Structure 1
Amino acid sequence: MTDRLRCLPTFAGVLATLAFAGGCVPADPSKPWSTRDQSTTVEVVETEYEIVRPIVIEPTEPAPGSGTQPVIGGRSSVVVETTEVVVPTGPIVLRGTTPAARSTSWLLNAVVDPQPIVRATAFEALEGNPDALYEAAPFGLIDENRGVRFVATMSIGDAGLAGLAPLIAPLLSDPSASVRAAAIYAMNKLGEGADPSPLAAMARSDDPEIRANAYLVLGLMGNPSAIPLIESTLGTGMRLVNPMRVRLTELQAAEALVLLGDQDDIEPIRAALFTPVEQGEITVLACDMLGRLGDEQARSMLFRMIAASGNQTRPPEIRMAATAALFRLGPPLPEDLGNLILGQVEDRDPRRRVQAASCLAVVPGRKALAALEVLLSDAEPMVRTAAAGAILSRPDSRQAAAAAVSN
C-alpha cells in the first residue's frame, strides 16, 4: 500500500486526491450513494486464506426492513480469464484467520463490484498484498471505466509487479490520457522504460482531470527537470472550469513541485488550510498533502483546526483529515488524539465511515485495528473496501499475518 490510498474526502468530489473522480463516479442524483448492499450480510470464516477468483455479488431482493442510507477506490506469462458473475445464495464470506487475510478476501470480490469507485479503491488497497494484486490486476487493466484502469495501472507500478508489464504496454495507447499517463509511470517504475514526453501536453490540458493526473505522475517519477514544465502551466488554461476544480488541480501541482524538490511550493498547500468551510474538500486535500509531505511547520495549524470551538469549529471531515495528518507527522501527539476518528466509526453517514476507515490506517494501537475489523463487515461495500485497504497497510496487521503463517 502506498500513500496514494489517502483519507477520502466526503465532500462533493470523492477521491479528488486521485484526480479521477469525474471518470469513476458518474453523478446520479436520482438515487442514494449506495443502497445495493443493504441486503447483503457478511460472514467471517476462520479458514486459511487463499486467492480465489473474484465474483460479483448481486442480491436479488432487498432484506426485510432494510432502509435507504443518506445520499452520499517475475512471472513469464499472465492469463486473463473472463470474470464470473454469480447470483449469491448466502452471505458474502470473508475467509481467513487474520484481519489481513479477511481483508484480501473481500478485496478480491470488490475488484469486480458494480461501482467503479469501489473497484478502483480495491485495486489500490491490494498493494498491501502484492501476490493478490498480481492475480486481480489484469481485471483492472481491461475495466470499462478509465478511473479503474488508471488506479490499477498505478498500483501495479507501485507494487513493482514486473511480470505484468506486457499487459500495461498496450495502455500507452489507451483512449484516456489519464490512463496513458499511468502507463508511462508504471512502465518506468517497472524498469521497462516509456517515453515521458506526452506528459508535457497533458500538463497543459484544459481538462482538470488530465492535468492533475499528469502532475501526479510527474511528481512521483521524481525527475527535477519537470519543475520548469509544471511551473510554466500554472495560471494558464482551464478558463471555463469550475474555480474549485482549478484550485484542486493547482494543489496537485504544488505537491508535485515539493516532491521534486521545490520546497517553496509548500506555501499554497498551507494556505489551503484556511479555505472557507463550504470549500472543505480543498482543506481536506491540503491536510492530506501536508501529512504525507511531512511538513512539521504545519503541526500547530493542524492542532488549531482540531481544537477550534464555537463558531470556529470545523466539520468532522476536516477534523479527521487534520488528525490523520498529525499521525503521519508522528510524535509528540496527545494520547487520546485517535478518539476523534474512532468516534466516527459508527456514524450513520457512510461517507464519514469511509473516511474514518481510511484515516485509521495511520492510527496506531489495538483500538484502531479493532475498529477496522468492525468496518470490514459494514453494510456498505465502499466502507468495507476502505477498511480492508487500511488493514493491509498497517504494520500490526502484517505482523499478525506473519505470526499466523509461522504457527
Structure 2
Amino acid sequence: MSWEGLLRELADPHTPLRASRLARLSDLPPARQRELARAWPGIDVSRRRQIVQRLLELSEENLEMDFSPVFLMALDDQDADVRVVALRGLTGEERLEIASRLLATLQGDPEPQVRAEAALALGNFVLFYVLGQLREKHFLPIEQALRKVIEDPDEAEEVRARALEAIGYCVDRPWVREAIRTAFESGRHRLRVSAVHAMGRSAEERWLPLLVRELTSDDPELRYEAALACGAIGDRQAVPHLAPLLEDQDQEVREAAIAALGEIGGEEARELLTPLLDDPSPAIRAAAEEALVELEFAADPLSLRSFLDDR
C-alpha cells in the first residue's frame, strides 16, 4: 500500500486498524511526519483516539517500534483524551526534547487531566537525574516546575498529586520530604495517597512507621499504596505488618502485599508466600510465584533455576 493509501485508511472509521499498517508509522522521516500532521486534523476525533491508543499498545508490545514523532504531534491535538494517550506514549523517553515538551504541557495545557499526565511522565526524568543520567542544569527546570505545581493551592488536586509522585525519587532535596509530609497530613485523600506513593519512591526508611500505620487503614487504596511502598523501601521490619494483608478482602491489596514481600525477601517472607502457591485464586497463585522468583533471585541468582524446576 502506498503512503497516500495508508493516510486514507487511517482516516476511514470503517477500516480496521491493522498492526501491520500502523507499524509503518514507526520511525517516520520528517517529510512523512509533516504529511501526517497535515492530514491529522481531518481525521474524526474518535478515530484519532483509536489510532494513538493502538500505537501505544504496539509500542508496549514491541520496544523496537518508535512512534514518538506521532505522539509528539498528537500533543497538539484539540482533544484532551488524545493528548493524554500521547503523553503515555512518551513515558520512558530520555531525550531533552521530550522533557521540554512535557514541561510545556504541564505549564500550559488547559485540561487538568493532561497536566496530571505530563507531571507523571516527568517523573522518569526525575529518576534519570537521581541515577546520574541527567545533568543538574537540565533537571532544575523540571524540579522548579513540579515544585510550583505542588505548592499551588489553586492547581487541580490530581495535578498536584501526580507532581508529588513524580518528584518522590528526589530525596536529596529537603523540600521534597517536607512536601511529602505536608500532603500526608493535609486531610485531603488524594494528596495523602500520593504522599504514600512518594514515600515508596523515596525508598527512605524514615517513612516506615507511617506506612505501617497505613497498612491498617480502612481505605483499600491507602493499604495498597502502603504495601507497595514498604516493598520499595525493603526493610524486613515491615514483613509481619504485611502478613495480615495476605488475607485482605481487596484482591489488589493482597497482590500488593505479595509483591512487597517478594521485594523485601528473607526467610519470613518466603514462609508467608509459599502457601499461596496453592491459593484457590489463579491471580494470587501467579503473584506468589512471581514474588518468590524475585525473592530467590535476590537471595541467590544461581538458586533461581532449581526453584523454577521445582515448580
TM-score of the superposed pair, with normalisation by structure 1: 0.46
Task: Tell me whether 1:164 sits opposite 2:65 in the alignment.
Answer: yes
How far apart, in 1, do the equivalents of 2:253 and 2:146 lie? 30
Q: Secondary structure at the match of 1:259?
A: coil
After TM superposition, the structure 1 = structure 2 runs for residues 45-194 of structure 1, keeping only pairs within 5 Å, are: 80=19, 144=50, 163-165=64-66, 167-174=67-74, 175=77, 176-188=82-94, 194=97
Counterparts of 1:210 and 1:230, CA distance in 2 = 14
* Counterpart residue number, 2:181: 270
Distance 1:219 1:324, change over 3 A: closer
- Quick check: 263-272 or 229-238, which moved more? 229-238
Residue equivalent to 1:252? 162
CA 1:320–1:338 in 2, change beyond 3 Å: closer, same or farther? same
- Residues in 2 aligned to 1:194 and 1:265: alpha-carbon distance in whole angstroms: 25
Is 1:196 matched up with 2:99?
yes
Aligned residue runs from structure 1 range 8-407, under 5 A: 80=19, 144=50, 163-165=64-66, 167-174=67-74, 175=77, 176-188=82-94, 194-204=97-107, 205-221=109-125, 222=129, 223-225=138-140, 226-234=142-150, 246-260=156-170, 262-276=173-187, 280-306=189-215, 314-333=218-237, 335-344=239-248, 347=249, 352-364=250-262, 365-366=269-270, 367-368=272-273, 370-371=275-276, 374=279, 377=282, 391=290, 395-396=294-295, 402-403=305-306, 404=308
Contact 1:254–1:266 (CA<8 Å) still a contact in 2? no
- Give per-residue Cα distances to partners, 1:351-373, cap 9 Å, x unaligned: x2123213421213343365377
Count residues with an aligned counterpart. 236
Q: Which amino acid aligns with 1:269?
A: I
Q: Is the 8 A contact 1:302 1:322 kept in 2?
A: yes
Q: Aligned partners of 1:295, 1:195: CA distance in 2, in Å?
A: 29
Q: Aligned-residue CA RMSD in angstroms?
A: 4.3
8 Å CA contact 1:257–1:265 kept in 2: the answer is: yes
RCO (CA 8 Å, sep 6+): is it higher in 1 or 2?
1
Q: 2:119–2:162: 8 Å Cα contact kept in structure 1?
A: yes
Identity of aligned residues (%): 17
Distance 2:213 2:115 in 1: 33
Provide closer, same or farther for how the CA distance between residues 299 and 179 of structure 1 changes in structure 2, counting only shifts above 3 A.
same
CA change 1:214–1:394 in 2 (3 A) is: farther
| Structure with larger Rg | 2
- Distance in 2 (CA, whole Å) between partners of 1:372 and 1:178 is 38
Letter in 1 for 2:233: L
Q: Deviations over 1:209-241 (max 9, x none)?
A: 2112211222212341322233344566966xx
- Distance (Å, rounded) in 1 between the aligned partners of 2:253 and 2:259: 10
Structure 2: distance between partners of 1:238 and 1:324: 30
Provide the C-alpha distance between the structure 2 equivalents of 1:355 and 1:145, rounded to a whole number of angstroms: 34
Q: TM-score scaled by structure 2? A: 0.58
* Structure (1/2) with the larger helix percentage: 2
Partner of 1:75 in structure 2?
none
Deviates more, 1:203-212 or 1:178-187: 178-187
Q: Which amino acid aligns with 1:302?
A: L
CA change 1:337–1:406 in 2 (3 A) is closer
Structure 1 residues not aligned, in runs of 5+: 1-78, 83-141, 240-245, 308-312
Relative to structure 1, the CA distance from residue 337 to residue 253 in structure 2 (aligned partners, 3 Å threshold; closer, same or farther) is same
1:150–1:371: structure 2 CA closer, same or farther, 3 Å change rule? farther
